Structure 1
Amino acid sequence: MALRTNKKMAAPQLATKSGYGRMATLLVVAAGVVALALPIAMPDPYFVHSCIVVLLFAYMATSWNFVCGYVGQLSIGHAMFAGVGGYATVLIFSRLGISPWLGMLAGGVLAAMQSVVVGYPTFRLKGPYFALTTIAFAEMIRIWVENTDTFLGIPLNGAAGITVPLVGESWMAFQFNGKTPYYYVILVMLVLALLATWRLERSKLGFYLKAIRGDRDAAEALGISPARYQLVALAISAFMTGVGGGFYAQFFRYVNADRLIGVEFSIDLALMSIIGGQGTVFGPLLGAVLLTPIAEITRGHLGGVLPGLHIVIYGIILILAVLYLPKGLIDPLRSILSRLSKNGRSA
């Protein structure tokens, strides 16, 4: 009798999960269709530019979440990986004439190599000590770049930064007259990052990272090497962030240490992921969709009068999220989808 009862109870639960999965899939497909049609339906250059910035931050926050959301360590120095990718992409193109498409990949590889150097000693630390150490590394790199005009014959131009040489519209040079091509490039990059996160959740590496986040000592007792798998995750995250830094440089056609390697940039990525729902596939995307327009509006209209206002607003939103939505914006969205699936099934 108990077995029959359990089977009867399990059937509605499976149906609920199936209904939820269908609702989630429909929502993702609908969002994808809207994203593909957006620059065609609303071709205004400023609007498309704003959408590109949202997608770029969503991509970068997803890259941050790839390690920090699943490992459980808070990195406030991820901007250094974006800086390596951005500077490498511009220098490889301007000095060697190599296409930025290859330069972005090279920048990602250099960022991954840098992450191993940084991560090996820092992953031995826990909690706030890890976060403080990542800030220290990023600030050291930023200060060094800002005060270095030339390094080994390579012009870094110090605080002035580097401008991308203009060669006219060219796919190989990653330069376009309009905004729409950039939009679709970053959209593809974001989709690939989301797919990588989705695959991580279902991979052996993902299970190991969740085990380390849950109880590091217990995971180590089971034969899982925290240092090894955390470094692997950090290297992948840094590679993705470095590629994003390369896109940033090519899109804005300019790169400097203050913006791309600054702590503010790292804080943006962390807050977007945390508020949206770290350790989830779509949480960073939700956080970027909410916070990026706020940052752009406050910088554009109040940046000269009240600089840093968007950080204050971020802080208020973060406090409210911690108090009322500790799992991020993704949690109420899941609840809504679950209710809709139940209502649709009952109807």
Structure 2
Amino acid sequence: MTTARPDRLRSPAVPRPDEIRAPSLPAAPGRRPRDAGTGFGTLGLIALMTLAAMALPLVVTDSYLLHSCIVVLFFAYMATAWNFVCGYVGQLSIGHAMFAGVGGYATVLMFTGLGLSPWLGMPVGGLLAALLSVVVGYPTFRLRGPYFALTTIAFAEMIRIWVENTDTVLGIPLNGAAGLTVPLRGESLAALQFNAKAPYYWVIVGLLAGALTATWWLERSKLGFYLKAIRGDRDAAESLGISPARYQLVALAISAFMTGIGGGFYAQFFRYVNAERLIGVDLSIDMALMSIIGGQGTVFGPLLGAILLAPLAEITRGHLGGSLLGLHIVVYGIILMLAVLYLPKGLIAPLRSLLARLGLLGRGGRR
């Protein structure tokens, strides 16, 4: 009778004792694996892009071109703000434009009624938008499913319809569907009114740089770590003592604050606000599509989406708006379907792969 050798009885799926290695732990919040791209590289890229963008008006003096650049950067800023909610919280905000409406109307009303400088009116409008976001998010984040998306579109439509049908409330003029016009006070830094386009361009570049930096901070912060855990597995996050509603509400408030400031800039740049444009669903769709197509949950994805889609929207509106109104929405839909089918991670994914092949992006770098 032969005795089987011990190594033949051992299952090949079971490693030998000398082959066992200690498992690597995931990176803690605010820390990166050694072979991952450093977040400070991303911050340096933001600074470099900001400096390059600030120099553009010194080379380009055409007013229309600068106007187009301002529009693109405005949408990039708004899409970046929206990215906080869907890209990191994992909740679809279809009525996000209501926060821009609150910020825009508040900035104009405080400027015309109280004489408050837009430089103060914009952050105050952002705080009011953040307060509204708490009202919207507090009851809905405690539920699961599409309730948040439905609540945002319902709130946005209620606010839009109410503003369009209200001329005065508590002595405050809203002018209904006609909207509000920002009175001209002459060229003034304090009033955020300029005859040239370059100062507005520099302002929106600064706002976008701040939004990109905030996204970079979110990715490296404990808040961002918790949000990713909640989005990945809500039950597992709760079992670890993480409160999903609390951290999602914080991210929503930050996003609403940024969006409210963007609404205030819109009012000062175009010198006009109305409910249809600043609270309507079109602006919410613009923010969402630019973020999703560019690459949600990344720092530069919304910027990339805005660079692609914002000029496309302006071209279709300008050349086909009279005969084929709304064509840009159809084009958006086609691009979105193609992106979902072939680029589910957005346009930023192939760009990141290309940069990695060229050695311009470290392993594990996420931008």
Establish whether TM, by shorter chain, passes 0.5. yes
Per-residue deviation, residues 111-139 of structure 1 (Å, max 9, x unmatched)? 00010001112223444332122111100
Give the Å deviation of 1:27: 6.1
The number of equivalent residue pairs is 335
155-164 or 211-220: bigger deviation? 211-220
Alpha carbons of 1:131 and 1:25: their partners in 2 closer, same or farther (altered >3 Å)?
closer
- Counterpart CA distance in 2 for 1:323 and 1:298 is 24
Q: Which deviates further from its counterpart, 151-160 or 125-134?
A: 125-134
The one of 96, 102, 109 aligned to 1:78: 96
More helix by proportion, 1 or 2? 1
Match 1:196 to one of 205, 214, 227: 214
Match of 2:9 in 1: none
**Structure 2 spans left out of the alignment, 5+ residues:** 1-17, 22-32, 363-367
Contact 2:295 2:301 survives alignment (8 Å):
yes
2:224 matches 1:213 = no
Residues in 1 aligned to 2:291 and 2:360: alpha-carbon distance in whole angstroms: 29
One-letter amino acid of the counterpart of residue 86, structure 1:
G
Cα distance in 1, alignment partners of residues 217 and 330 from structure 2: 35
Provide the residue aligned with 1:229 in structure 2: 247
The answer to whether 1:284 aligns with 2:302 is yes
1:153 is aligned to 171
In the alignment, residue 339 of structure 1 is paired with which amino acid? R
Asked if 2 retains the 8 angstrom alpha-carbon contact of 1:123 and 1:227, the reply is yes
Which structure has the greater CA radius of gyration?
2
Q: Relative to 1, partners in 2 of residues 1:243 and 1:221: Cα closer, same or farther, differing over 3 Å?
A: same
SS at match of 2:192: coil
- Aligned residue number for residue 314 of structure 1: 332
Alpha-carbon distance in structure 2 between the residues aligned to 1:88 and 1:236:
18
Distance change >3 Å, CA 94–CA 242, structure 1 → 2: same
Most deviating of 223-232 and 129-138: 129-138
Check the 8 A contact 2:103/2:264 in 1, yes or no. yes
Q: 1:206 to 1:153 in 2, by over 3 A?
A: same
The answer for the alignment partner of 2:70 in structure 1 is: 52
8 A contact 2:85–2:92 mirrored in 1: no
Contact 1:64–1:270 under 8 Å retained in 2: yes
Matches of 1:204 and 1:17 in 2, distance apart? 18
Which aligned pairs between 1:25-40 and structure 2 lie closer than 5 A?
31-40=49-58
> Aligned letter for 2:66?
V
Aligned to 1:304: 322
Whether 1:167 aligns to 2:179 is no
Distance 1:38 1:211, change over 3 A: same
2:134 is aligned with 1:116: yes
1:270 match: 288
Question: RMSD in angstroms over aligned alpha carbons?
Answer: 2.3
Q: Deviations for 1:179-228, whole angstroms, at most 9, x for unmatched residues? A: 00000001001001100110010101000111111111111111001111
Q: What is the rounded CA distance, in whole Å, between the counterparts of 1:224 and 1:95 in structure 2?
A: 44
Q: CA deviation at 1:256?
A: 0.2
Letter in 1 for 2:215: T
Tell me, yes or no, if the aligned pair for 1:55 and 1:186 is still in contact at 8 Å: yes
What amino acid does structure 2 have at the position aligned with 1:112?
Answer: A
Partner of 2:110: 92
CA shift, 1:35, in A, is: 1.4
For 1:58 and 1:168, how far apart are their aligned partners in 2?
29
* One-letter amino acid matched to 1:169: E
Counterpart position of 2:27: none
| Matching residue within 179, 182, 189 for 2:200 | 182
Question: What amino acid sits opposite 2:158 in the alignment?
Answer: M
Contact preservation (8 Å) 1:23, 1:337? no
Distance 1:221 1:202 in 2: 22
Q: Quick one: which amino acid aligns to residue 312 of structure 1? A: V
Question: Counterparts of 2:299 and 2:90 in 1: how far apart (Å)?
Answer: 15
Identity of matched residues, % = 77
Q: Distance in 1 between matches of 2:44 and 2:106?
A: 40
CA distance in 2, matches of 1:109, 1:28: 26
Residues 258 and 62 of structure 1, relative CA distance in 2, 3 Å threshold: same
